[in-house]
């Protein structure tokens, strides 16, 4: 066998050096490639958190009516307990329960026969006294003629004159008795003193009714117009008075659930004193109520317009958040990032909030999804309903 040739020491060292250099170059190339990939926009985007989905609305300028809310009770403009002014048997009831009646309509009739007899008697008594007066006046004339001839004394003439004067006074009393009897007879026919709606019938025909009975025949209410009495805190008194000085104050009535509008009216008066026990003031509003949608005794929600803010910057009330330092809102910039801003805002009902500082017209505010936001968060903004003034469509 041939002996294995020995390698030169210099060649072995060169091979190790080349191998080590190749490994270093591979490491450098790998590090460079990793750094390039990490610095690429696609990788940076992959490391950022996803945008937060939110709903936004745009701040806008508009005229905003300012309302005060209250709870009131509907009252009839007139309520009359229909009673008898005389005693007697109730002959007939001429209305149907719940009927709409007009002023002067006959509601009930009491047996008029005793009253008509009393009137006839008074008329007959006057006729009798008038006949006696005629006779007494003739006797007075004869006495005066005899006295001028000396056949009658002045005393006789004076006595005859006194008899004539007495009969004249008696006739005046008879006339008063006739008028009283006529009045009593008119009470036998009970008529509606006003136009309105009658309630339940509380006395049936055939019963004896008296002037001092506790229960009336029925109750007549006038609900056109209808009144609503309500209270407001004392702090609102100045706003209401200022509104009344500038003209008619509009009042809108809603049902008990505060969802359906029932009627529109106007503020009629403010009570002349404040209730010191509750620090409230009573007010009364009047409604035409031509469709009878307001009913006496009904509880209604009221909205009283006391002012109109002209050209105000508005946002939805849900965009207004409360923090330790006061009100703030999340405003979305042009780059779709969120900014938390301190604002001065006044909510007006449930539809709109007026902003006087912190948000400008045209800026977008977050109305849903605020709980996931942080300053500088990227957002995926979707447009929701824009704030609308109370009484306007959204």
Please report, in tens digits, the pLDDT of each residue of the chain (394 residues total): 455 555 555 566 677 776 777 777 777 766 666 665 655 555 544 567 789 999 999 999 999 988 899 999 999 999 999 999 999 999 999 999 999 999 999 999 999 999 999 999 999 999 999 999 999 999 999 988 888 888 888 898 899 999 999 999 999 999 999 999 999 999 999 999 999 999 999 999 999 999 999 999 999 999 999 999 999 999 999 999 999 999 999 999 999 998 999 999 999 999 999 999 999 999 999 999 999 999 999 999 999 999 888 999 999 999 999 989 899 999 999 999 999 999 999 888 778 899 999 999 999 999 998 888 989 999 998 987 666 666 554 4
Token pair listed for 274 = 């404040």
Length of the chain: 394
Q: What is the pLDDT of residue 44?
A: 47
| Cβ-based burial of 99 (10 A; exposed 0-12, middle 13-18, buried ≥19) | middle
Q: What is the pLDDT of residue 281?
A: 96
Residue 86 CB coordination number (10 Å): 19
H or E stretch covering 154: helix 154-186
Q: What is the pLDDT of residue 27?
A: 73
The answer as to CATH 2.30.30 being correct for domain 112-187 is no
Question: Measured between alpha carbons, how far apart are the two ends of the chain, in Å?
Answer: 105
Domains 53-64+311-383 and 112-187 are alike in CATH topology: no
Which single residue is written with the structure tokens 């066998």?
1
- What does the DSSP 8-state code read for residue 121? H
Q: What is the pLDDT of residue 278?
A: 93
Q: What is the pLDDT of residue 383?
A: 87
Q: Is the pTM of this model over 0.75?
A: no
Q: From residue 241, how far is each of 71, 111, 227 by CA, in Å?
A: 19, 55, 19
Q: In the chain, what are the helix, strand and coil shares in percent, each to the nearest 5?
A: 30, 40, 30
CATH of domain 53-64+311-383: 2.40.420.20
Q: Where are the domains of the chain?
A: 53-64+311-383, 112-187
Q: Which of 117, 58, 63 is nearest to 88 (CA)?
A: 117
Q: What is the pLDDT of residue 347?
A: 85
Tell me the three-class secondary structure of 165-213, residue by residue.
Answer: HHHHHHHHHHHHHHHHHHHHHHCCEEECCCCEEECCCCCCCCCEECCCC
| Cβ-based burial of 93 (10 A; exposed 0-12, middle 13-18, buried ≥19) | buried
Sign of CA dihedral 273, 277, 280, 286: negative
Sign of CA dihedral 373, 376, 382, 383: positive
Instruction: Mention every residue, 6+ apart, whose C-beta is less than 8 A from residue 204.
Output: 90, 93
Beta bridge partners of 83: none
Q: Which of 115, 128, 64, 60 is nearest to 87 (CA)?
A: 115
């Amino acid at each position: 066998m041939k002996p294995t040739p020995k390698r030169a020491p210099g060649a072995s060292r060169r091979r190790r050096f080349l191998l080590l250099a190749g490994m270093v170059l591979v490491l450098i190339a790998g590090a460079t490639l990793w750094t390039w990939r990490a610095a690429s926009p696609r990788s940076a985007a992959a490391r950022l958190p996803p945008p937060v989905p939110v709903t936004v609305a745009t701040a806008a300028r508009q005229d905003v009516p300012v309302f005060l809310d209250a709870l009131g009770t509907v009252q009839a403009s007139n309520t009359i307990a229909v009673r008898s002014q005389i005693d007697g048997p109730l002959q007939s009831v001429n209305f149907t329960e719940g009927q709409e009646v007009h002023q002067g309509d006959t509601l009930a009739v009491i047996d008029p026969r005793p009253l008509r007899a009393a009137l006839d008697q008074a008329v007959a008594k006057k006729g009798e006294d008038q006949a006696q007066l005629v006779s007494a006046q003739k006797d007075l004339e004869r006495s005066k003629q005899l006295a001028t001839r000396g056949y009658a004394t002045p005393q006789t003439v004076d006595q005859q004159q006194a008899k004539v004067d007495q009969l004249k006074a008696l006739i005046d009393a008879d006339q008063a008795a006739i008028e009283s009897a006529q009045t009593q007879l008119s009470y036998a026919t009970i008529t509606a003193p006003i136009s309105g709606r009658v309630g339940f019938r509380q006395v049936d025909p055939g019963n004896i009714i008296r002037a001092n009975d506790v229960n009336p025949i029925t109750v007549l209410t006038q609900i056109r117009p209808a009144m609503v009495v309500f209270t407001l805190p004392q702090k609102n008194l100045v706003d209401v008075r200022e509104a009344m000085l500038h003209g008619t104050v509009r009042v809108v009535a809603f049902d008990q659930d505060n969802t359906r509008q029932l009627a529109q009216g106007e503020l009629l008066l403010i009570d002349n004193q404040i209730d010191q026990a509750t620090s409230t003031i009573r007010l009364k509003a009047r409604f035409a109520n031509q469709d009878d949608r307001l009913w006496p005794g009904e509880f209604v929600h009221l909205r009283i317009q006391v002012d109109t803010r002209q050209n105000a910057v508005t946002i939805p009330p849900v965009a207004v958040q409360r923090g330790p330092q006061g009100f703030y809102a999340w405003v979305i910039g042009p780059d779709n990032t969120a900014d938390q801003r301190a604002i001065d805002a006044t909510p007006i009902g449930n539809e709109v909030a007026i902003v006087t500082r912190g948000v400008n017209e045209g800026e977008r505010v977050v109305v849903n999804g605020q709980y996931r936001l942080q300053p500088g968060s990227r957002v995926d903004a979707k447009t929701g309903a824009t704030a609308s003034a109370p009484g306007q469509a959204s």
